[in-house]
Amino acid sequence: MLLEKLKSQGITEALEAIGYNCVEIFGGLSQEAEELYASYSWRKVPCSVEGIRNAYVVHAVPSEEQLKKGYAWEEWFFQFDKPEHHVLFLEKKDFCDQEIFIPEDDQDHPQEIRGKDWYYFCDTKSVPYFHV
């Protein structure tokens, strides 16, 4: 279900073009996690930040209601030839070690993400946060 959605929206191709293997990342999700991520909005967004491979980032954006319930927005990219997976929340979690404010006029992130403070951590394994 999720892999088919990602493929039909060009997300699989976008992730693989920057160096990710979608089957490795998304192929072993639990049924619940697969349904959750299939409900997310998936986007390939141009990014002007220095060192971003192919000048774009892939975003998995939950609905506004899901965000308010504590679900994470996630982004995958390569920067300076290193894979990056950020898991971001509207409320601070004990495991979040970084914080960012994304202004309303930001052009490097999806519209619904802008104008908010985010608390996040970098996942070195690049697996979806809700994978089990």
Domain assignment present for residue 129? The answer is no
Whole-Å CA distances, 44 to 7, 13, 92, 98, 108: 12, 10, 26, 23, 10
Query: 93: pLDDT confidence band, cut at 50, 70 and 90?
Result: very high
Q: Is the pLDDT of residue 59 over 70?
A: yes
Domain assignment present for residue 20? The answer is yes
Q: Determine the Cα–Cα distance for residues 27 and 84; give it in Å rounded to an integer.
A: 19
100 near 86, Cβ under 8 Å?
Answer: no
Q: Determine the Cα–Cα distance for residues 56 and 47; give it in Å rounded to an integer.
A: 5
Q: Which domain holds residue 67?
A: 2-122
Query: 132: pLDDT confidence band, cut at 50, 70 and 90?
Result: low
Q: What percent of the chain has pLDDT over 70?
A: 99
Query: 131: pLDDT confidence band, cut at 50, 70 and 90?
Result: confident
Domain assignment present for residue 130? The answer is no
Mean pLDDT of 96-123: 97
Q: Domain count for the chain, please give it.
A: 1
pTM: 0.95
